[in-house]
Amino acid sequence: MKRKILLALFAGILLAAETYGTPLRPAEFPSLTSSLKTIDTLEFCGEQVPLEVQEIKERLEKELLLSLWDRPQVILWLKRSHRYLPHIEKMLKDSGLPDDLKYVAIAESALRPHAGSKKGAIGFWQFLPDTGRKNGLVINEHIDERRNVFASTRAAITYFKELHKAFRTWTLAVAAYNMGEQGLMAEILEQETNNYYSLYLPIETQRFIFRILSVKLILSNPEAYGFKFAAEDYYPPLTFDRIQFDCFQETPIRIVAKAANTHFKVIKDLNPEIRGHYLAAGNHNMIVPEGASEGFEDRFRRLEESFLESQKGRIYIIKSGDNLSSIADKFDIPIASLIIWNSIDLSHPIYPGDRLIIYPKNKKFNNTSP
The per-residue pLDDT for range 111-134, each reduced to its tens digit, is: 999 999 999 999 999 999 999 999
The one-letter amino acid code at 252 reads P
Task: Say which CATH topology domain 313-370 has.
Answer: Membrane-bound Lytic Murein Transglycosylase D; Chain A (3.10.350)
Distance in angstroms (rounded) separating the CA atoms of residues 176 and 194: 12
Lowest-pLDDT choice from 166-170, 330-334, 353-357, 363-367: 363-367
Higher pLDDT, 280 or 314: 280
Average pLDDT over residues 146-152: 98
Please determine, for residue 6, whether its predicted confidence score (pLDDT) is greater than 80.
no
Q: Quick check: 227 and 78 in contact, CB under 8 A?
A: yes
**Predicted model pTM:** 0.80
> DSSP letters along 185-248, please?
HHHHHHHT---GGG----HHHHHHHHHHHHHHHHHH-GGGGT----GGGSPPP---EEEEEEES
Domain boundaries, the chain: 50-233, 239-311, 313-370
Distances (CA, A) of 142 to 139, 243, 261: 8, 18, 23
Please determine, for residue 346, whether its predicted confidence score (pLDDT) is greater than 50.
yes
Average pLDDT over residues 334-350: 79
Higher pLDDT, 108 or 13: 108
pLDDT at 15: 44
| CATH class held by domain 50-233 | mainly alpha
Question: What does the mean pLDDT of the chain come to?
Answer: 87
Please determine, for residue 31, whether its predicted confidence score (pLDDT) is greater than 70.
no
pLDDT at 364: 46
Residue 35 confidence class, pLDDT cut points 50, 70, 90: low
Average pLDDT over residues 310-325: 75
